[in-house]
Chain A
């Protein structure tokens, strides 16, 4: 019950509060129905415009967390409430999310582009109905440096280019919450670096809240304002740390390396 009172403190600053009482994943092993507990009593608040990174081992529920925040996964008990306009409903399961965000965007682990739409049409997709969608999409494709390929279909573009288009599409609705699910894995190191720079460039314009999940610590430290370290299942927050390094951050700088050592050491202790 204390939770209902606690909501108030996020109210006026328009952040995001995420409460997951329980999230399970059904398991089927040798015809026995089992359950895998992913989250239990998870509760945290993200400030407006904050770039937060969730760092954790593979299979610790990072994607599940983003799916819950985006509203794609509604099969959990808990709630996701945007700042001042909270709307919760108490059901038999507990508190359930009933709020649908108007301006949330998501870049998935795979680009998830529509093969039958051209590059520019893909970027335009989230805002198709808006009058200035053409202009926004054109601006974005220029920013990601793919203007030459605007009328090409995704199948004819390289993996790196497809990610850039996916990134542009995620920014097209000018979101105030942007979710990123390990968007830069399994690609060339150089291309990944380029994409990270691009992400910072696009983020700086309107500074949406970014929730970024990754299992790459360097990436986390390079990009985020704040890192939450997740444990193995059932996932808990081991450490919640605010990073105060100036951007752009160099992965080889002394401060970067010592911070990385410090964070690794702290979480190794906690995991034990």
Chain B
């Protein structure tokens, strides 16, 4: 047992088991399905919904999450890099950026639906606009932190602008991309649910609203759990290994 506890992975596993146990005990004490259903209830509910349309809605939500994510990453990075490189533009648009960072997600969503109608484009646009400022801020800081002395090495050996970007600038920006991506994924999927709740007739957010009107807590938790697990596996099996591979040079 002691040797097992030394294994980090095992400790993590134990901690999850503990959480489920606490949940089980609490639900037994409360003994009310509407307030807190037990883990086994939720598991059954997952099985039931999986045979229905759970994966259809999860798929739609994931599609929205990733479309908005990539759009925000590309646009936000581009703006951030330009602002980091050009002092004048940074002076002009820094105020706009702070303004954009402080507009509540809900306001952007509602405005997008009012301006563009209750459609897919408005939904994805609303999420993207919410995320762009944070990506911009992170990449701007990253660009400002670029070591010009290393760029000089590239210039000295007659490397082209493209080669310098690829071999010297991007590796220095990489930790910032990862950090933006990580915070982005977590933030975006929460916003997507709100968008779906307010203005779409499918997706996880829509379903949760539906279960809310029926006070079906079990189904709400079932949907949430499935989606959280998917996002967590993306973090564990995609983001983290990529980060590890590409930043192993860091101490």
Known: A110-B149, A112-B149, A114-B150. A126 touches B249 (CB 8 A): no
Closest CB in chain B relative to A72 CB, distance in Å: 5
Whether A72 and B250, one on each chain, are in contact in the complex, defined by CB atoms closer than 8 angstroms, is: no
Digitize B146-183: 1 where CB-to-A-CB distance is under 8 Å, 0 elsewhere. Answer: 00011011011110000000011001001000000000
Digitize B237-251: 1 where CB-to-A-CB distance is under 8 Å, 0 elsewhere. Answer: 000000000011111
Whether A153 and B152, one on each chain, are in contact in the complex, defined by CB atoms closer than 8 angstroms, is: no
A residues less than 8 Å from B167 (CB atoms): 114, 125
Closest CB in chain B relative to A14 CB, distance in Å: 20
* CA–CA, A138 and B155, complex, Å: 24
A residues less than 8 Å from B247 (CB atoms): 116
* CA–CA, A53 and B153, complex, Å: 22
Closest CB in chain A relative to B155 CB, distance in Å: 6
Considering only CB atoms, which chain B residue lies closest to A114 in the complex? B150
* CA–CA, A252 and B153, complex, Å: 37
Does residue A89 face the partner (Cβ distance < 8 Å to B)? no
Does residue A251 face the partner (Cβ distance < 8 Å to B)? no
B residues less than 8 Å from A110 (CB atoms): 149
Considering only CB atoms, which chain B residue lies closest to A169 in the complex? B153
Q: Which residues of B in the span 211-251 have a Cβ within 8 Å of any Cβ on A?
A: 247-251
Considering only CB atoms, which chain B residue lies closest to A101 in the complex? B158
B152, B247, B248: most-surrounded residue (chain A CB, <10 A): B152
Q: In terms of DSSP, what is the predominant structure of the interface of chain A?
A: loop
Interface Cβ pair total, 8 Å cutoff: 42
Known: A108-B149, A155-B250. A70 touches B156 (CB 8 A): yes
A residues less than 8 Å from B249 (CB atoms): 115-117, 153-155
Whether B155 and A156, one on each chain, are in contact in the complex, defined by CB atoms closer than 8 angstroms, is: no
Whether A72 and B171, one on each chain, are in contact in the complex, defined by CB atoms closer than 8 angstroms, is: no
- Candidates B155, B158, B168, B248; contact of A102 at CB < 8 Å: B158
Does residue A106 face the partner (Cβ distance < 8 Å to B)? yes
Does residue A104 face the partner (Cβ distance < 8 Å to B)? yes
Digitize A95-126: 1 where CB-to-B-CB distance is under 8 Å, 0 elsewhere. Answer: 00000101011101010101111000000011
B residues less than 8 Å from A154 (CB atoms): 249
Considering only CB atoms, which chain A residue lies closest to B155 in the complex? A72
Known: A100-B158, A102-B158. A112 touches B153 (CB 8 A): yes
Digitize A147-182: 1 where CB-to-B-CB distance is under 8 Å, 0 elsewhere. Answer: 000000111100000000000000001000000000
Closest CB in chain A relative to B151 CB, distance in Å: 10
* CA–CA, A125 and B251, complex, Å: 22
B residues less than 8 Å from A112 (CB atoms): 149-150, 152-153
B residues less than 8 Å from A71 (CB atoms): 156
B156, B174, B247: most-surrounded residue (chain A CB, <10 A): B156
Whether B171 and A114, one on each chain, are in contact in the complex, defined by CB atoms closer than 8 angstroms, is: yes
* CA–CA, A106 and B251, complex, Å: 27
Closest CB in chain A relative to B98 CB, distance in Å: 27
* CA–CA, A261 and B174, complex, Å: 53
- Candidates A105, A114, A117, A155; contact of B251 at CB < 8 Å: A155
* CA–CA, A106 and B149, complex, Å: 12
- Candidates A108, A115, A125, A153; contact of B157 at CB < 8 Å: A125
Closest CB in chain A relative to B242 CB, distance in Å: 14
Digitize B84-110: 1 where CB-to-A-CB distance is under 8 Å, 0 elsewhere. Answer: 000000000000000000000000000
Nearest 10 pairs between A and B by C-beta?
A: A153-B249, A126-B157, A116-B171, A116-B249, A155-B251, A115-B249, A106-B156, A112-B153, A72-B152, A112-B149
Given A112-B152, A116-B247, 17 new contacts (CB under 8 A): A105-B156, A105-B157, A108-B149, A108-B153, A112-B150, A114-B150, A114-B167, A114-B171, A115-B250, A116-B171, A116-B174, A116-B249, A154-B249, A155-B249, A155-B250, A155-B251, A156-B251
Interface residues of B (CB under 8 A from A): 149-150, 152-153, 155-158, 167-168, 171, 174, 247-251
| A/B interface sample: 22 pairs, CB < 8 A | A71-B156, A72-B155, A100-B158, A102-B158, A104-B156, A105-B157, A108-B153, A112-B150, A114-B167, A114-B168, A114-B171, A115-B249, A116-B171, A116-B174, A116-B249, A117-B249, A126-B157, A154-B249, A155-B249, A155-B251, A156-B251, A173-B157
